Amino acid sequence: MGKTSRNFIIKTIGGPVGVIDGPTDCSAMRTGRECEIEARPDTRAEPTADPRYVWAVDSAAVQAMRCPLDHADFTTAPGRLVCRSGHSFDIAKQGYVNVTVAGEKSANLRSDDLAMVTARQRFLATGAFDPILHAVASRMPQATSEQASQLFVELGAGTAAYLAAALETAPSAHGIAVDLSVPATIRAARSHPRATALVSDSWAPLPIADGVADAVIVAFAPRNLAEIARILRPGGRLVLASAKPAHIHQLREEFELLGIATKNTDRVSVPAEQVGMAVTEVNELEFVMTLQPPQVADLILMGPNAWHVDREELRAQVMLTATPRDVTAAVGLWVLERR
Ligand SMILES: C[S@@+](CC[C@H](N)C(=O)[O-])C[C@H]1O[C@@H](n2cnc3c(N)ncnc32)[C@H](O)[C@@H]1O
Ligand SMILES: [Zn+2]
């Protein structure tokens, strides 16, 4: 029987999708801002188990996870993950697990805030970046006949749109999305029924076992090649997407935005060789997007420029031009294979 109350979708471990009443403790609600969880009508079945039992993480993800404190494996308990040595990490009501270690987050690490994440989600939903999403998803490895399931990991995942697109192409794959931003991870947790979302720092040891990932995705986000090499299985792939100098150059000129550091293959391939990975593909994707003013504002404010501009002023400035703008997307795509 469907429920009529406001619910949000949850995932039950190793089982079907369920629901839990909510949200009850959205901090954004308390501050009167947009709530981080949009309640939506539930059309799914009533949950059959105690809602405090484990949800939002799936068993394949738990098996691949390791405790950030001692690398022990995890078991599930109601509402939390517990490592073999007893370290416990709560599963938040919004569906993510924060596996950062207290004090680990360095002061100079900046993760995306709610407004940036909301802008990103809105912009990606318009489909303007779909060619990039498809390009990444099309580079996922095929499951071999011996593999019952695959594991894809996205680092600096944001809303985990790339992971979700990849999971859509691979029915037996499960995904782990990692991001340091809680608002991003809340969305990543709901990006796909087979995705599990973790709050964790890409620069710290990842809470994932050695050699378990079939693919790692890093799109416009920090990449720690040593840790990526460690979690990839031999033959596993890293698919990297990063902005080329021509990326959104029209907007950088019009609004005096941050420049893009020149990325060349050496910056990927030299350190990759050192950690046992080889570049197997270097490609560039360039296309022109015709963007309406609200898309332009979201595209600018979903990225690092948001930290350097007056956001309201920029949005107002963008809206002064009512006509659409042609904006170049120029993205480097690299595929690297773990030896
Ligand atoms: C430009 S966004 C890209 C998000 C997503 N990959 C996409 O393309 O839609 C960069 C993301 O990296 C995350 N991030 C930044 N530093 C990080 C770190 N040290 N560890 C994990 N995530 C980080 C940010 O919170 C943000 O979500
Ligand atoms: Zn532990």
pLDDT in tens, 249-278: 999 999 999 887 665 555 777 789 999 999
Residue 49 alpha carbon to ligand 1 centre in Å = 34
Strand ranges across the sheet with 173-179: 96-98, 195-199, 173-179, 150-155, 213-219, 232-243, 325-338, 277-291
- How many CB atoms are located within 10 Å of the residue 25 CB? 11
Beta bridge partners of 72: none
To the nearest whole number, what is the mean pLDDT of the chain? Answer: 84
Residues 331 and 247 sit within 8 Å (Cβ to Cβ): yes
Is 70 exceeded by the pLDDT of residue 140? yes
The CA 179 to ligand 1 mean position distance, Å, reads: 6
Break the chain into its structural domains and give their ranges: 6-11+15-57+59-92, 114-338
Q: In the chain, what's the furthest Cα-to-Cα distance?
A: 60
Does 205 contact ligand 1 (Cβ within 6 A)?
no
**Residues in the 5 Å CB sphere of ion ligand 2:** 67, 69-70, 72, 83, 85, 87
Tell me the mean pLDDT in the region 202-219: 97
pLDDT at 266: 56
| pLDDT tens-digit map of 72-89 | 999 999 889 999 999 999
Q: Dihedral angle at the C-alpha atoms of 203, 189, 238, 257, nearest 10 degrees?
A: -70
Residue 271 confidence (pLDDT): 87
Closest CA to 331 of 273, 235, 269, 244: 244
Q: Are strands 80-83 and 74-77 parallel, antiparallel or unpaired?
A: antiparallel
Average pLDDT of span 217-235: 96
pTM of this structure: 0.85
CB 207 within 8 A of CB 198: yes
The pLDDT assigned to 1 comes to 32
Q: Ligand 1, residues 108, 112, 247: which to mutate, most atoms within 8 A of Cβ?
A: 112
- Whether 141 is in the pocket of ligand 1, judged by its Cβ within 6 Å, is no
- Structure-derived torsion over alpha carbons of residues 125, 128, 129, 132, reported in degrees to the nearest 10: 130
Question: What's the pLDDT at 260?
Answer: 78
> Would you state the structure tokens that stand for residue 109, as one six-digit string?
């690490």
CATH of 114-338, one of 3.40.50.150, 3.65.10.10, 3.40.50.800, 3.90.1170.50: 3.40.50.150
214 CA from centroid of ligand 2 (Å):
24
For ligand 1, is residue 179 a contact (CB within 6 Å)?
yes
Q: Using a 6 Å cutoff on CB, does residue 114 contact ligand 1?
A: no
Query: Is the pLDDT assigned to residue 149 strictly greater than 70?
Result: yes
Q: Is 330 exposed, middle or buried (CB count within 10 Å of its CB: 0-12, 13-18, 19+)? A: middle
Rounded to whole angstroms, how far apart are CA atoms 14 and 310?
45
Quick one: three-class SS letters along 218-264? Answer: EECCCCCHHHHHHHEEEEEEEEEEEECCCCCHHHHHHHCCCCCCCCC
Query: Of ligand 1's atoms, which has the minimum distance to the CA of residue 303?
Result: 1
pLDDT at position 316 over 80: yes
The region of weakest confidence among 15-19, 179-183, 198-202, 226-230 is 15-19
Look at 19 and 199; give whichever has higher pLDDT.
Answer: 199
> Which alpha helices (H) appear in 37-181, and where do they start and end?
59-64, 114-125, 130-137, 161-169
> CA of 133: how far to CAs of 43, 125, 166, 237, 282, in Å?
28, 11, 8, 16, 16
Q: Torsion over CA of 150, 156, 159 and 162, rounded to 10 degrees?
A: -50
Query: Which atom belonging to ligand 1 lies closest to the Cα atom of 158?
Result: 27
Task: State whether the beta carbon of 174 lies less than 6 angstroms from ligand 1.
Answer: no
Distance between CA atoms of 203 and 150, rounded to whole angstroms? 24
Query: Is the shortest distance between the CB of 307 and ligand 1 below 6 Å?
Result: no
Q: 157 CB less than 6 Å from ligand 1? A: yes
